[in-house]
Amino acid sequence: MRTRQDVAWLNMWKENSPEIRKRAIIWRKQSAFTRIDKPSRIQRARRLGYKAKQGMVAIRVRVGTGGMRRQRPVAGRRQKHLGVTRMKAEVNMKQVAERRVAEKYKNLKLLGSYFLYKDGFHYWFEAILADKSHPRIAKDKELRKRVLST
């Protein structure tokens, strides 16, 4: 069930409001992985397990859009069906973003991610991570189950 904050965020995205476009202009100039002080969609982050405490990290991830495109065969005969376009990846952009964050921050456990914004060139997601070795995380009963279980 969506909260009012989630509905407001999605409406801003659908209506392409000036406020969110201004944010996207700033986000484009930042690096692909940007650590942020607090999540943009706080209710969604809390559902994923975010708490405002030491050891919790929120990261904005930028993923480029575009499909998979094979190189066109140069030599030899031209096949009737070249197999160049209409190639589809088996994973969606959210999964790509989660995989990249997990590879970049190996010492942190990924709790989840959620959609932020999409334009013609990029998708933005926010990922919530927890530090496995931080004492504050180890003392928290709820987080300890999720983070230290593996």
pLDDT tens per residue across span 13-26: 788 888 888 999 99
Reduced 3-state DSSP string for 24-85: HHHHHHCCCEEEECCCCCHHHHHHHCCCCCCCEEEEEEEEECCCECCCCCCCCCCCCCCCCC
Q: For residue 72, with 0-12 CB atoms within 10 Å meaning exposed, 13-18 middle and 19 or more buried, which class applies?
A: exposed
Across the strands, what pairs with 126? 60, 114
Amino acid in position 6: D
Q: pLDDT tens-digit profile of 13-64? A: 788 888 888 999 999 999 999 999 999 888 899 999 999 999 999 999 999 8
- Please say whether the beta carbons of 51 and 143 come within 8 A: yes
Domain residue extents for the chain: 4-147
Give dist(CA 91, CA 38) in Å, integer.
Answer: 28
CATH number of 4-147: 3.40.1120.10
pLDDT of residue 48: 92
How sure is the predictor about 99, in pLDDT bands with cuts at 50, 70 and 90? very high
Task: Indicate the average pLDDT of the chain.
Answer: 87
How sure is the predictor about 68, in pLDDT bands with cuts at 50, 70 and 90? low
